[in-house]
Structure 1
């Protein structure tokens, strides 16, 4: 779907971002594709993500740590996580409809300000020594509700800021930053807690969000392209989004691809069991840390080398190949008895996940009309948030019944079989190209 420069904030004059393929030679063809950063509006949106990717992880570590310090119970930590998931799902679906009915820049300003205010309240309850788990759970629910409203608008805005041919590169840039934050943020939190204390992590997150609000303020207006006639964002509009997905098979298949990969092939619930039973000779703590870090590290590596794939035009085949590669890597991980081979295989799975994420995101932005992009991103947020949690339940149950290695291997093989069957039965994804 072509993007009009007048509506996207991109310049009509030729820029270095429009350089021909032949101009990227040597190592530049392999490294991260940075063309979207030549677009000032996208650069502002991306720069805000750089700051908050780490800052948000400080709060993500601080909340469960504070809940555990107060209660001494991992069950309460799990309950707090559920308190955040439910409003995230509900408000992401509604937030997609809202993002299609109002200026997305304005919505981003409102929601980022709300998230920042919630971080300040987190800091106040910690610094005053309130020590109330219900208050923490309420604040987490409010914060995740704001995030659910924010995420669809942020993702849907990208297609108005860069041309269609640069959408994979833009998604790779954003996803790499978020994955890097998931690695660096928790490590930074672990270093800072003994030095500055728990409360200050919330304050640092709030300060980072102030930078985000400033960057979003500098974006161009992003009103609905259809004009001011439709301003509703209710249940009917949410249902309309699901009907739109059902009518457009390539969108439906992009969601199914992620569900297949994550629900059937994400074995993180089995990492503690595998660390103890299979890799215990390496040291259970070391094994557990490496297993959890391997997939995000692989995803970051894939993002840094996104120049190798971001210019591909057959987006459907890239998704199919990436999901199959993910399943094969997970199956190999389940068969491995060497910790170092297991880490390599999980890292390769992380690379495949990055490729899949990049092209699934590009399909959602390019195959959907602008008036539906917010709702598509709302459903995408729910799938991304809910899929791994369903996988935790499925793999945890299968691991108890059949053993961790069998459950992991079987899940990976199921991903390969189901994805290839979907691709063979429904050609829409195979045929899709930008």
Structure 2
């Protein structure tokens, strides 16, 4: 079987595909990653063959008006408000598809995959699959946030689909969704799922030396660069978090991009001595031995913390962050602090509750056990094989949530 993995060139959208791509190769299948040229280093570094398609597109100026407004207004945005925007919700992803779809389709005609696997916002994947007549499968990052926008996608993609010679609307959900999310954390969207036991992979890197054995709890903080990059703002969240957490009887390890580290070093009064800053390090290398994970709510961070059985404190800024944080909080394994509530006293109170509360720890361990009970990657590959050989066994939009039979 030949499997074409398609993603646009943002590493956090590519990395969730790596586990399944490796599993396909381990099962003896041919694999090829197709993305915009700037992802080549990341894909090859992950040990996967790569084909450049289309052109790179800098999304930052496209999304900056929206994200900078969220930061300036110190708020998140609810889906009820966003839904009124209609196809504008997927405008950036449609532009990415326009930059990739023709070349991806040409590659598919040349390479002749049996199956196309794509991350949920890379519409070039299902478009190319439809154009060459093979099934498409979504690979989810975690809780299915992007299912919300499906109602707008046919209208938004109709013109591009016509340029590819497609006369009918393309089903962007594909025929099935590979799902690494534990059931109690997932939404109840009506899609057919191929469950996958999640194995964290956040890129290659080295462990920056073992932490000092102080005997105190260890708090791991991730300082994502995405909010600063996409909003174009110096976001105040990380200094507030680190200063507040540094007053607890705990060791704080913060994974912070170089640009943010330089800013933190110049803060008046500096940071508490209990706070240790490390450079870019894959999250999965640092979670072992941590007692609390603090982050902004990305799907990869939520799943990594869940797989490690670690309680999580989430400070969301973007709509998907808020969605993920609420899904996590509903399980009892985490707490969320919205931008307006991100004050030092609130941070200390929430962190202390997560560190000392047996219910939160039990819920976090429950998520870990759910993930461990999910089918291994080899079983997910078998599910892909069944889809490739019999696409008609994929779901209709009235199908119930459940494993692909």
Shorter-chain TM-score: which interval? 0.3 to 0.5
Higher relative contact order (CA 8 A, sep 6+): 1
